[in-house]
Amino acid sequence: MVADHGWPSRRLDLLAGFDLIFRHGIDTLHGFRRPAFATPFYQRVIRRLAGYGAPPSATASVGLTGPPTLLDVDTVIVGAGRSGRAVAGALVAAGLHPLVVERRLQPPPIPGADLLTATTATFLPPRVPTGDPPFEILGSVEPGRGLRIRARRVVVATGSYDGGLLFESSDRPGVVTADGALAMRDGRGQPPFRRAVVFGSGDRAKAALEQLGDHVVAVASPTEVPPDLVAEANRHGALLYPRSLILGVGGRRRVRSVTLRSRGDGTTTEVDADALVLAHRRLPNSQLFFQAGARVAWRAGTGAYYPIVGDDGTTSVPGLWAVGSAAGATTSGSIGSGERTGASLTGGSVPLAPIERIRSEGPNDMEGYYRDLLRESRTGRWIVCPCEDVLLGEVEHASRSGYRGMEVIKRYTGVGTGLCQGRYCVPDTLLLLALLEQRTPTEVGYLTQRPPVHPTPLAALAALNVSEPISEGP
């Protein structure tokens, strides 16, 4: 469906006016109750505004039905990034013929492997405990054809993404993740900004600076800036703001400035900028591990859960491997992690070098970052969950009213229930709740990672209903 977010149209969006009227959020939990006789009217108005696009028309799903892709393989690798390719390469070298599925449209071919592209593997349920049936992965092949893969072994190489950050007006156009900035640059040859502030201190910030350097005016880092990043910033003439909090961005229609607060001496700086590029932490795409029931562990440094893996990528679920940045390896360590798993899968000897893991302390201490940030006084809109427009104030209110734990706060505020299913907002919400509830993030708990990972068309799933026809009733 089209994500048409304005009303009456995307260009003339009167709904944007609501944001001004309801600066503290629209309280759908308590509001619109009185007078009682008016509730059907409120409901009609709100239903007018609900949902995206138009109601489905008779032609909405024409061309969407087609035969499903049903595959039965020994080994499937989900993801054709660095680590997935490394695993595939090792299997091919050992004379095997692995299947690799990849969501991006045109990944480079992997000689000797079957590469199924434009495919989304969205659901990897735990295996039925009785006997030893294969894994079953459900998903779709564009434009919405069903995909079911039965496999004896599954290697999850789904990579990682740039996490979001909480600050005032984070929904302002011009706030982008490094992923987004690089994709936009690749799409049009130029990034859509000239004077960006890059936020981050690790590999990712360095990569963003290397690739977008001419369009960057400053690097703000949550921690001290490591020497290699200092050198890179100097090369591009970018100013350095070590140990900084991002308080917010200014500008009416798009970012015009970025406001920083030094975590050292407390000084405030407003940097003249037209974009803020978030490159402060990589988060693993770990939903498939969760779905499959693999054990995970919390890492305080990045503020995220990672699957518990052995050096060869084995997880707690027999037959399920995890490699690359999805398993917590650094970008540079990803290939090695894939090679080790490849060796293990083919019965070869496993190279001994240990996996290079994302640093777990020091530069990326997000818990400490948010502790400092929450001490700041705040004005304006602090959006915790952009999909569902949940404000920090609403989370704080829920917490003060006695609702505790990630699962309950999700249900109370709607955090993490939108189109991204919490990928973007839940990692930060978890850190905030740990501070508000004065306990550790692991005690706050996590969200059940519900299938599918990405919205999957009903038509694609319906096409998979092949083995057992539904009963049409007596």
Partner 1 sequence: MTGPQRTEYAVAVVGAGVVGLYTAYHLAQAGVGPVLVLDRGFLSSGASGRNGGGVRQQWETRATVRLARESVAAYRRFGRDFGYNIWFRQGGYVFLAENEVALGRLRIVHQTVRSEGLGSRILDEAGVTRLVPGLAAGAAVGGTYLRTDGTLYPFPAIWGLYEAVRARGVEVALGVEAVGVEQEAGRVVGLVTRSGSVRVPKVVNAAGGWSGDLSRSVGLEVPNRATRHEILATEPIKPFLDPMVVRPSDGLYFSQTMRGEIVGGLTVPHEPGTAQGMGSSAAFLPRMAAALTRLIPRLGGLGVLRAWSGFYDDTPDGFPVIGEDPRLTGFYHANGFGGHGFMLAPASSRRVAQSVMGEKTDLDPGLFGVGRFFTPGEAPRAERLQLG
In the region spanning residues 263 to 292, those forming contacts with partner 1, defined by CB under 8 A, are 291
Instruction: Note whether 327 and 84 are within 8 A (CB).
Output: no
Q: Which of residues 373-412 bind partner 1 (CB under 8 A)?
A: 401-405, 407-408, 411-412
Distance of CA 42 to the CA centre of its chain: 34
Residue 17 or 469: the one with the smaller Cβ distance to partner 1 is 469
Smallest separation, CB 459 to partner 1 (Å): 3
Residue 239 or 408: the one with the smaller Cβ distance to partner 1 is 408
473 touches partner 1 (CB under 8 A) = yes
Query: Pick from 11, 21, 57, 347: which binds partner 1 (CB under 8 A)?
Result: 57
53 touches partner 1 (CB under 8 A) = yes
For residue 376, give the nearest of 245, 276, 257 by alpha carbon. Answer: 245
Q: Give the range of 43-51, 324-332, 345-353, 389-397 binding partner 1 by CB under 8 A.
A: 43-51
Q: Give the range of 77-85, 102-110, 427-435, 442-450 binding partner 1 by CB under 8 A.
A: 442-450
What does the alpha-carbon distance between residue 247 and residue 453 come to, in Å, rounded to a whole number? 32
Smallest separation, CB 167 to partner 1 (Å): 27
Instruction: Note whether 85 and 93 are within 8 A (CB).
Output: no
For residue 374, give the nearest of 276, 219, 261, 255 by alpha carbon. Answer: 261
Work out whether strand 390-391 and strand 320-322 pair parallel, antiparallel, or are unpaired.
unpaired
| Cα separations in angstroms, 442 against 299, 325, 434 | 10, 21, 8
317 touches partner 1 (CB under 8 A) = no
Q: Which of residues 106-125 bind partner 1 (CB under 8 A)?
A: 123, 125
Query: Pick from 46, 183, 297, 353: which binds partner 1 (CB under 8 A)?
Result: 46
Provide the b/e sequence for 246-274 (b: ≥16 CB within 10 Å): bbbbbeeeebbbbbbbebeeeeebebebb
Q: Please, how many CA atoms are within 13 Å of residue 252, restricted to the half-sphere of its CB?
A: 1
332 touches partner 1 (CB under 8 A) = no
Q: Give the range of 14-22, 48-56, 161-169, 242-250 binding partner 1 by CB under 8 A.
A: 48-56
Smallest separation, CB 11 to partner 1 (Å): 18
64 touches partner 1 (CB under 8 A) = yes
Residue 138 or 317: the one with the smaller Cβ distance to partner 1 is 138
Residue 101 or 460: the one with the smaller Cβ distance to partner 1 is 460
Q: Which of residues 406-425 bind partner 1 (CB under 8 A)?
A: 407-408, 411-412, 417, 419, 421
Q: Give the range of 51-59, 212-220, 294-302, 333-341 binding partner 1 by CB under 8 A.
A: 51-59
Residue 70 or 300: the one with the smaller Cβ distance to partner 1 is 70
Q: Is 189 left (phi over 0), alpha (psi -120 to 50) or beta?
A: left
Query: Pick from 126, 173, 187, 362: which binds partner 1 (CB under 8 A)?
Result: 126
Distance of CA 196 to the CA centre of its chain: 22
438 touches partner 1 (CB under 8 A) = no
Paired strand residues for 73 = 151
Residue 168 is classified by DSSP as B
Query: Pick from 61, 262, 316, 346: which binds partner 1 (CB under 8 A)?
Result: 61
352 touches partner 1 (CB under 8 A) = no
User: Residues 216, 222, 223, 229: what is their CA dihedral angle, to the nearest 10 degrees?
Assistant: -20
What does the alpha-carbon distance between residue 349 and residue 345 come to, in Å, rounded to a whole number? 10
Contact letters for partner 1, residues 451-470 (x by CB under 8 A): xx-xxxxxxxxxxxxx-x-x
Neighbours of 385 (CB within 10 A): 26
Paired strand residues for 241 = 220
| Cα separations in angstroms, 177 against 66, 196, 282 | 36, 12, 10
Query: Pick from 138, 149, 197, 432: which binds partner 1 (CB under 8 A)?
Result: 138
Query: Pick from 60, 107, 113, 215: which binds partner 1 (CB under 8 A)?
Result: 60
Query: Pick from 33, 104, 235, 371: which binds partner 1 (CB under 8 A)?
Result: 33
Q: How many residues bind partner 1 (CB under 8 A)?
A: 74
